[in-house]
Structure 1
Amino acid sequence: MNSWNFVGIIAWLLVIALLVLVVFNIRNRHLKILVVQKNGITWKTITVDFIEILVVIFAVSGMLYTTLFSRVDLKNKADIEMTYKYEPMIVQTTDDGQGYYVKIDKKDKHSDNDVYQYWVNNSTYSVSSRNAAISDATLPFNVSGMRISWPMKKITKMDAKYQQAYVITAHAKYKNNFSNGLGLKAGRFAMEYRVLRVPARSFINVENVK
């Protein structure tokens, strides 16, 4: 385990200790009032109970949000480290001799998700359209819906090197720092997204539409 994640472990232990402390504090105060002082529960006691419970709720909610529900900001360079890999695709040929780099498998016309198939280093790869996009090099580079800082200077060089037929794999990783450690995410994988760069839409083969 990454050492920074011990920050989150310690924080959770403190929250659990706070919860136990509040439970025992409320119990002991009520017993003291009822048994020792032989008085009834007053609004002052209820107010103190409410404040203590509220503190615990805020502490638990804050840690749950930080650990489980906080969304990754891929443009936050302070917390996220982005790396990019570029791999040339291998052209394939249809039965009628048409060359293509990407095949879109539309298994169900009612589904919003397609399967993109492509070839790299003599191996076949498939990726869901939820985690990938096709980029037509005849248009300005744009990946809608993904807040990723794309290295345009490098992409321009790769366009020339691979003749606009390659895969860009963007890999996001949580950096080793206090905020990521508090959420138990330091050093962990955040997300991966692929852009299938093709010279033109004519290099895309669409099959299996039902």
Structure 2
Amino acid sequence: MISWNLLGILLWVIVILYLVFIIQNIRKRRITMIINQHKRFTWPNFILDIVEVLVLLLAAGYMFSRTFLDNPDLEDSNKITSSIQYQPLVMKTGVGNSSYVTIDSRKKKIGTQTYTYYRAGNKVTVSSNAATVVYGDKAMDISAEKIPYKENELKQMDKKYQRAYVAVYTARYKKNWQNGIGMHAGHIATRYYLIRIPDPSFIKQNKK
């Protein structure tokens, strides 16, 4: 099956070919103007140069925005398909208190923070930019509000896993021509981890 992302590649090729065209076209018209009209500047030629460059900038800007700056609405069913996977946490035991999640923090001007948790057979470490740790009676916090979790499902998982699970939200671009323009069709748009624990005592803090 032909990928819709080929559409985006084709459009970028057209933009590049148009860049080559206007460079050659501007150069050719300038040489012709000097030879035939013995002038180095005319308003009609200058205006045509401006129009060609503006068309290039608009086309390149549009493609750059669609390719590198795309910020899709996660609730747009025409563009995004999403799923939520619920995985029970495995408690880590050893020196000190048992914990469900370990937080590593770096105290710097541009600080970083990662969350590490265990699930059956796996150790998972995620950045705080794409995750949140939630405890207490409410299954969501302010950070997770940007993700379209279903609160009624989270409450059901609270009962099923005794508030010890991770809800992994995955949004993927649909395979259509609209997403193909930015070469995103079929790719992951975002992935977010809601790490649910009973209370703060199940958090281990590592400071660096």
Which structure 2 residue ranges, 5 or more long, are not aligned? none
Q: Does 1:81 align with 2:112?
A: no
Give 1:1-210 correspondences, 5 Å limit: 3-93=3-93, 95=95, 98-106=97-105, 108-110=106-108, 112-139=111-138, 141-144=140-143, 147-206=146-205, 208-209=206-207
- Aligned-partner Cα distance in 2 for 1:173–1:141: 22
How far the C-alpha of 1:94 sits from its partner, in A, is: 5.2
- Aligned-partner Cα distance in 1 for 2:78–2:147: 14
User: 1:154/1:43 Cα in 2 relative to 1: closer, same or farther (>3 Å)?
Assistant: same
- Aligned-partner Cα distance in 2 for 1:148–1:158: 17
77-86 vs 64-73, which moves further: 64-73
85-94 vs 173-182, which moves further: 85-94
Instruction: Give the TM-score taking structure 1 as reference length.
Output: 0.85
| Partner AA of 2:127 in structure 1 | S
How far the C-alpha of 1:39 sits from its partner, in A, is: 4.5
Give CA-to-partner distance per residue, 1:123-157, whole Å, 9 cap, x none. 33222222211011423522417621112222222
| Partner AA of 2:83 in structure 1 | T
SS in structure 2 at match of 1:92? coil
- Aligned-partner Cα distance in 1 for 2:32–2:95: 87
- Aligned-partner Cα distance in 2 for 1:173–1:196: 21
75-84 vs 165-174, which moves further: 75-84
* RMSD after superposition: 2.4
Q: Percent identity?
A: 34
| Partner AA of 1:148 in structure 2 | I
Instruction: Give the TM-score taking structure 2 as reference length.
Output: 0.86
Which structure 1 residue ranges, 5 or more long, are not aligned? none
SS in structure 2 at match of 1:7? helix
How far the C-alpha of 1:49 sits from its partner, in A, is: 1.2
How far the C-alpha of 1:121 sits from its partner, in A, is: 0.7
